[in-house]
Amino acid sequence: MDGKYNIMVVDDDPLIGGLVCRYLDEKSGFDVHYFENPLKALKQARKIKLDMIILDWSMPKLSGLQFLLRLRKDKKTKDLPVFMLTAKRSGEDFETACAAGVDGYMTKPIDFNKLNNRIIGYFAK
pLDDT in tens, the chain (125 residues): 555 899 999 999 999 999 999 999 999 999 999 999 999 999 999 999 999 999 999 999 999 999 999 999 999 999 999 999 999 999 999 999 999 999 999 999 999 999 999 999 999 87
Per the structure, the count of domains in the chain is 1
78 is a domain residue = yes
State the CATH number of the domain containing residue 120. Answer: 3.40.50.2300
Whole-model pTM: value is 0.94
Question: Does 19 fall in a domain?
Answer: yes
For the chain, the DSSP string reads --S--EEEEE-S-HHHHHHHHHHHHHHH--EEEEES-HHHHHHHHHHS--SEEEE-S--SSS-HHHHHHHHHHSTTTTT--EEEEES---HHHHHHHHHHT-SEEEESSP-HHHHHHHHHHHHH-
Domain that holds residue 56: 6-124
* Residue 95 domain-assigned (yes or no): yes
User: Is 1 a domain residue?
Assistant: no
Residue 64 lies in a domain: yes
What strands, in cross-sheet order, belong to the sheet with 104-107? 31-35, 6-10, 52-55, 82-86, 104-107
With respect to residue 101, please indicate whether it lies within any of the assigned structural domains: yes
